[in-house]
Amino acid sequence: MYIEQIKLTNYRNYDALALNFSPKINVFIGENAQGKTNVMESIYVLAMAKSHRTTNDKELIRWDSDYGKIEGAVKKRHGILPIELTITKKGKKGKINHIEQSRLSHYIGQMNVVMFAPEDLNVVKGSPQIRRRFIDMEIGQISPVYLHDLLTFQKVLKQRNHFLKMNQGKSLSNDVMYEVYNEQYIHAATQIIRKRFQFMDLLQEWAEPIHAGISQGKETLVIKYRTVAGIEKEHSTSEIENTLHQKLIEAREREFDRGVTLVGPHRDDLQFLVNGYDVQTYGSQGQQRTTALSLKLAEIELIKQETNETPILLLDDVLSELDDYRQSHLLNTIQGEVQTFVTTTSVEGIHHETMEQAQLFHVKQGAIERS
């Protein structure tokens, strides 16, 4: 899979832009704040219907415009697929092959991308919220059903939290509504937890040998999905439901006291162990970067396995964050197989034959020249 062309209308600092890409390496060179990351972001947004940089979609629309639009021509095994995303202040609409989709969950997954940016190091060393977002975004690319289940869970969670907030500090004598909310919540939460465990198994399968290769066999990476309810991947659906039910009963007093749901996948986390030690707490900066790189390379292989298409790789100002050895390992892995987009202030420090095949784009004050 690769993207042949992209067109931007009223997107960030671009009023109109059309670019054709190489199916191999595309490098955007320019100083900071010139617009190169905006192009990279637009490819990500076209694929995922959301930005990796902001949760406020209005920021994606050019400041004096009512809407922004991204159009792409994606080359897949069975031919060219036109996709389009329009962003307004009221929401987003996606089109596949010129046909508007009723839900964004039907749109996402037509073009698969793997983004690696400096902030992705936070997947390893940042907050649990960042890791949960990582899980949800990656599963969503390969499983539209998961996106639907996630939206259902978030809706039920919001309703349950509202109920708890409305009854905060009270001692309810009538438990009927409480049990109704619990039943809906447990069912929705169970679907999310099961699919996350399944995804983590697949990710582990790919990430472990990749990490061993980068560390020259000196390190073993283990990825664990840790639930606040103490659920393990071996548990059946009924065991997960029973455990959640028991934990909600135990947390009932605290939940009514605080007015918020304290047990469930919205509070779960990932743990990365290198040679048995938590790399977030005890790992060196080099080990944390190797873990992050292993995850990204594993994502490529996992998406390829699940979709029979090679995803597009987006390297946003990240090569300068990697030392020569990790940089070479990354470029060797993608060589000739993965369409890759790179943003950088200079290519002088990147010594690899892959870069000799690159299509270069020079970005200055929102103007892009191809060389």
**Edge-to-edge, what's the strand order for the sheet holding 14-20?**
14-20, 2-11, 67-76, 79-88, 91-96, 99-100
pLDDT tens-place string over residues 105-136: 889 989 999 998 877 888 999 999 999 999 99
Q: Are 179 and 251 in contact (CB under 8 A)?
A: no
Q: Is 95 annotated as a binding residue?
A: no
Q: Give 61's DSSP letter.
A: B
pLDDT tens-place string over residues 169-218: 876 656 888 999 999 999 999 999 999 999 999 999 999 999 999 888 99
pLDDT tens-place string over residues 340-351: 999 988 877 666
Q: Is 253 annotated as a binding residue?
A: no
Q: Is 24 annotated as a binding residue?
A: no
The letter for the amino acid at 100 is: E
Q: Is 68 annotated as a binding residue?
A: no
Angle 171-177-178 from CA coordinates, rounded to 5°: 55
- Quote the CA–CA distance of 125 and 122 in Å, as a whole number: 5
pLDDT tens-place string over residues 288-321: 989 999 999 999 999 999 989 999 999 988 877 7
Strand partners, 278: 273
Q: Is 276 annotated as a binding residue?
A: no
pLDDT confidence band for 234 (50 / 70 / 90): very high
Mean pLDDT of 310-333: 84
Q: Is 36 annotated as a binding residue?
A: yes
Residue found by looking up tokens 């690696």 in the block: 116
